[in-house]
Structure 1
Amino acid sequence: MTERDPTPGNREFSLEIETDVLVVGGGPAGCWAALNAISAGARVVLVDKGHCGSSGATASAGTQIWYVPPDPRERETAMASREAMGGYLSERRWMVPVLDKTWESVNRLAAWGYPFPSNEQGIEQRISVQGPEYMRLMGRKVKNAGVRILDHSPALELVRDDTGAIAGATGIRRQEGGNWIVRAAAVIMAAGGCAFMSKALGCDVLTGDGYLMAAEAGAELSGMEFSSAYAISPSFASITKTALYRFARFYREDGTLIEGAGSARGRSIIARTLLSEPVYARLDLAETDALKAIMRRAQPNFFIPFDRRGIDPFTERFPVTLRLDGTVRGTGGLRLTGLDCATTVPGLYAAGDNATREPICGGFTGGGSHNAAWAIATGAFAGTAAAKFALKKKPSPVLRRLGRAGYAEAARELDTNAALQAVQQAVFPLDVNYFRTEAALSREVHRLDDLWERLETSGGVSHLDLLRLREVAAMTATARWMYRAALARTETRGMHRRDDFSKQDPAQRHRLIVSGLGHIAVRPEPVEEPIFREAAE
């Protein structure tokens, strides 16, 4: 096998740009990062796989926000409320600044004109946003601020300069054709998590691309075992907004009630039942017309698939399934070295779902609220820090590209559709990924390792085929990191459930740091803060 030239040549690219900060991803984290970087005096380019402000999980749905007034009691309650659920892996040295920055930024959002609803006393309720309105506003603010936006221009690989620092990225132009290169003094990864193309609403563009590119540069990841987030969804639709299922009862096919399915442990009970039989739901706890109207206003897109099929979810049973959200509602992602959101690679920063959310969520899902706050705050932190780094950095003319999987020249052919199916067959099954055992995890790791070897020797395809090849490679790498970490954590903690180790082990109150591609290393990292007595009690 011959290797391609690792040095980008000028004739390869139909578009070449030089800037200070490159932001990869146009969701909430990317938009906040771009705005803060340009406010700090940097030139900024933002590239997006889709269209900035309208692609991704947030743009297609509503989301709550972890927006808490700066009252000591309220803040204490907010921080303590999730510590036990997350297995005591979160840290208040992160929670406090995230809450502060979210409070400040959401108030800016209101000042920019976002139409927050008011309560009966006329006080705006700033604890949630409707995704389309929120991201339309953010996209407009980014454009008006002077950020150069390349839509439909997915990044495929990072480039490094001769000092060892990240110095930009390359990618393709899906509509115009050709390749692009952006030379930048700092790069912010804000390309979202990985949902493995499970058809969860808005998530098919979220394939772990940022993880792969960063790992090829040597970045570490953390919390990847906490990636088994599944969301309740009608079996005939992609809507995975689960808040309204608080008003549901769940039934077997014969109409008998599934006891406990609506409780705090309900997701696990539903998952167990789905292993052997169908599950149905009905929103029959919403008993008044007033409540039903409120629910429709709060989550209008939840009801669209029902209305299209002539189903009244308040009075008729409908089949449900669990769709894998992976790291989108999980907590795993790139490891951050501090509040500047720097990774372990110089010049590379991470924000939103590209970064591990363990610092504020521990090992339990951040759902909408915590993840939304994390996107806002880390976007702001990363944008400011990347601009500061970039404006002090001396340019280097020598660049080296870092992409591996999909870039081999004398490569053997790979059926990307078959490869995608292989990844999904490894991560979708509830009796592998939700209820985990050493035997099942080891079996799938072996299969995924074989697939990765084939991916590393693949390449020589058209630029659009290369995009799918890189997406499949990113999903395969993400699954391998997830399962290696899951095998190493021989306990049940947070959303990580080991059927063969059903108890939480106090000796394993640490983070698991994973790194590498061909060979994956896993090492423990202590949680710096002690368990808060109030939370432990």
Structure 2
Amino acid sequence: MTATPQPSTLDLVADVVVVGGGPAGTWAALTAARAGADVLLLDKGYCGTSGPTASGGTGVWYVQPDPAARDKAMASREALGGHLQDRRWMARVLDQTYENMNRLEAEARYPFPVVDGRPHKRGLQGPEYMRRMRSWIKRAGVRILDHSPVTELLVDGAGTVAGVRGHRRQHDMDYRVRAGAVVLATGGCAFLSKALGCDVDTGDGALYAAEAGAELSGMEFSNSYAIAPAFTSVTKTAYYGFATFFHGDGTPLAGAGSQGGRSVIARELLDSGVVLCQIDQADAETQRLMRTGQPNFFLTFDRLGIDPFTEKFPVTLLLEGTVRGTGGIRITGDDCATTVPGLYAAGDAATRELVCGGFTGGGSHNSAWAMSSGTFAGGGAAAFAAALGAGAHRRRLSGTGGAGIRPAGSGAGGAGRAEALDVLRRQVHPYDKNYLRHGDRLRPALADLDAVWAGLRAGAAPAGGDLPRLRQAAAMVAHARWMYTSALARTESRGMARRQEFPGLDPAQFHRLAVGGLDRLWVRPEPVTGREVRELAVAS
């Protein structure tokens, strides 16, 4: 009996395509499906277990709807973020997060712990959270393709985003989806640093958005490094607020536990290679709550027989980039629309400046942003798709992908994935390049990144399953170039964007920085909106 030949490309249709299966993606998919859209979610891993949230616990920026409490919550980090936040957006995110957390309890039956007789909703256990989100969106009718990385966006003749292309790893088959709208919820970019759960976060969505003509913002605020034990990849930086740090000989490391202490740790790691830590400022009740809240933090300690509360252990800094930084795809509407019609962004793929300004929101603000922006983007995408009408899927489409798909040169002598990763390790991972920034180091690093980008653009396109890996490398290089271009343009120290030769805050640079382009990059200032923020900035 002759086997039926399999198609070389799987053709699919959906009203809304969501790219990414973390918190932002699942909330976007749920919202779009509830609005009546036929939704297809695509994950490069397995939706429910892939990504940093599914790998551990996270705090949540959950504040009761009391005006005084909300005002205090919004004001608490404005100076830290360089006053680049927008109070209106902060209020919207607090409202939506409050609603979504209550829905998690009522509809998804999430088992919040009870504290003083009331459910405690200021944190989530990532594995349980994402397991329930996967189940919830499936019940809502969302179709899921796991292990199916997207490789490029598709646009119609007017430049409106109208679908995606990708590859199904387990079937070794390419696919194409025609859609009414696309939500990019692909996460940030951690540059394969091995921070827990972050190696799937290679900045793919930002590359695809830029290839379609979208802009980015806040990319100078992308140099987040998290403290981690030297023998594990678990990053729970909040716990180190209860720690004392030491030189390798056991003497105290002055300033390492203060605001800005990670700079002290970075310098000591560069100088001696060793920093020790002991979480010795947590009382017995705090220790109990730590173990209950983040059990995976202690797993490796217990296996090695180390008590982190009474014994010193070595620590390092792991690059988290735009996973914990605030830069990402620039959004232009309340529904998280981008500058390209038909394209929406949510979660760490989108800029978080609107709620975090120029300083990381850590887990709590980022998790609130993920579920809220996912909700906004899912609703916006569903409405956009519905407005197109029945003929949306009959549009003539073309791909937007460049590096690794459509060579700019003959294909001879181009750069490959290995070369790109080597440049990233040398020019982006080191503390003295990306964290302790100085123009004299940024400029040559950017030149190396520009050169390897040109090589990626000129190289021949690989086939099938090799393409997603090359595209991820290209996305990381693109991310680094946007980061350093923006960092060089901000000649001051604001939020996370610290310049050693410009240590002060410059009132003339009270603006956000939009950045874009691929082969040739551009950067421009964008005014900060919001009366309250402007008044605060002037007062400071």
**Shorter-chain TM-score range:** over 0.9
Aligned length: 525
Residue 343 of structure 1 aligns with an amino acid whose one-letter code is T
Residue 396 of structure 2 aligns with an amino acid whose one-letter code is V
Residue 29 of structure 1 aligns with an amino acid whose one-letter code is A
Structure 1 residue corresponding to 2:154, chosen from 145, 154, 159: 159
Q: Could you say if the C-alpha distance between residues 532 and 75 of structure 1 is closer, same or farther in structure 2, counting changes exceeding 3 Å?
A: farther
Q: Give the C-alpha shift of residue 534 in structure 1.
A: 6.1
Deviates more, 1:238-247 or 1:303-312: 303-312
**Contact 1:62–1:299 (Cα < 8 Å) also in 2:** yes
Gaps of 5+ in 2: 1-5
Alignment of 1:116-515 (within 5 A): 116-119=112-115, 121-277=116-272, 278-288=274-284, 290-393=285-388, 394-395=391-392, 396-408=394-406, 410-412=410-412, 414-515=415-516
**Contact 2:216–2:329 (Cα < 8 Å) also in 1:** yes
Consecutive aligned runs of 4 or more in structure 1 exceeding 6 Å deviation: none
**Contact 1:459–1:466 (Cα < 8 Å) also in 2:** no
Residue 29 of structure 2 aligns with an amino acid whose one-letter code is A
Provide the C-alpha distance between the structure 1 equivalents of 2:474 and 2:481, rounded to a whole number of angstroms.
11
- 1:288-340 deviations in Å (ceiling 9; x for gaps): 3x432221111100011212222221222111111110000000000000111
What does residue 7 of structure 1 align with? none
What does residue 113 of structure 1 align with? 109
Provide the C-alpha distance between the structure 1 equivalents of 2:395 and 2:339, rounded to a whole number of angstroms.
23
Residue 411 of structure 2 aligns with an amino acid whose one-letter code is A
The SS at the match of 1:184 is: strand
Q: Give the C-alpha shift of residue 533 in structure 1.
A: 4.6
Overall identity of the aligned pairs, in %: 58
- 1:223-277 deviations in Å (ceiling 9; x for gaps): 0000010000111210011111122111111110012211223222212222202
Q: Give the C-alpha shift of residue 163 in structure 1.
A: 2.5
**Contact 2:74–2:90 (Cα < 8 Å) also in 1:** yes
Q: Give the C-alpha shift of residue 167 in structure 1.
A: 0.6
The SS at the match of 1:158 is: strand
Structural RMSD (CA): 1.4
Provide the C-alpha distance between the structure 1 equivalents of 2:345 and 2:118, rounded to a whole number of angstroms.
35
Q: Give the C-alpha shift of residue 490 in structure 1.
A: 0.2
Provide the C-alpha distance between the structure 2 equivalents of 1:349 and 1:502, rounded to a whole number of angstroms.
36
Q: Give the C-alpha shift of residue 287 in structure 1.
A: 4.2
**Contact 2:419–2:452 (Cα < 8 Å) also in 1:** no
Provide the C-alpha distance between the structure 1 equivalents of 2:415 and 2:507, rounded to a whole number of angstroms.
45
Residue 469 of structure 2 aligns with an amino acid whose one-letter code is R
Deviates more, 1:55-64 or 1:414-423: 414-423
- 1:374-430 deviations in Å (ceiling 9; x for gaps): 001110001011000001114243111111000146523644223212112111111
TM-score of the superposition, structure 1-length normalised?
Answer: 0.95
Residue 405 of structure 1 aligns with an amino acid whose one-letter code is A
The SS at the match of 1:368 is: helix
**Contact 2:159–2:212 (Cα < 8 Å) also in 1:** no
What does residue 3 of structure 2 align with? none
**Contact 1:193–1:208 (Cα < 8 Å) also in 2:** yes
The SS at the match of 1:463 is: coil
Provide the C-alpha distance between the structure 2 equivalents of 1:311 and 1:136, rounded to a whole number of angstroms.
31
**Contact 2:415–2:452 (Cα < 8 Å) also in 1:** no
Q: Give the C-alpha shift of residue 465 in structure 1.
A: 1.6
